[in-house]
Amino acid sequence: MFGAPFGRSVLVAVLCICCAQTFVDGSSNTMGFAPAIAAALDAYVGSSTEAAVVAEIRKITDSAHVPQPSQPASPPVFAKHKNASTWFPQPAWLRKREQKRKERGRRGEREEREEREERERKARHKQALIDLIKSHRLRFHEERKAQTERANRI
């Protein structure tokens, strides 16, 4: 529990039960836990009084706390991986799904570009038709004007 051997972990569990039931609400007396807990405490701590149990708990928790070496002034900066979960390998099905999304994205970009080029081509074709019609109309009016001038000369 606290990085201690198995015996101490068992004691900590017993002490937690003891504190929770014996000292708080006294339900261990009515349920019959008190004699067993008291016997376990007497065997390990040497006393079943609240002060002795609390002192043993403090002793265990204080001894289990190992001071950490001093940290550097600033934490090291790690390069952020493009995948947020770098601790576990990515499952194949998830990798395939992401690849399909990327392909769909590329396909979407390609389709948008093709649609834009198609619109531009249609606009150029429409403008070419307009220019052709204008040139024919201009030529028709010029020919009509020339015919009326010839007719007026005669």
Hey, CA dihedral for 142, 148, 152, 154, is it positive or negative?
A: positive
What is the pTM assigned to this prediction? 0.30
pLDDT in tens, the chain (154 residues): 444 455 556 566 666 665 554 444 455 455 555 566 666 666 666 666 667 767 777 776 666 555 566 665 565 566 665 655 556 677 888 889 888 888 877 777 888 889 999 999 999 999 999 999 999 999 999 999 999 998 888 7
Q: Which of 67, 71, 12 is nearest to 40 (CA)?
A: 12
Domain boundaries, the chain: 6-64, 99-154
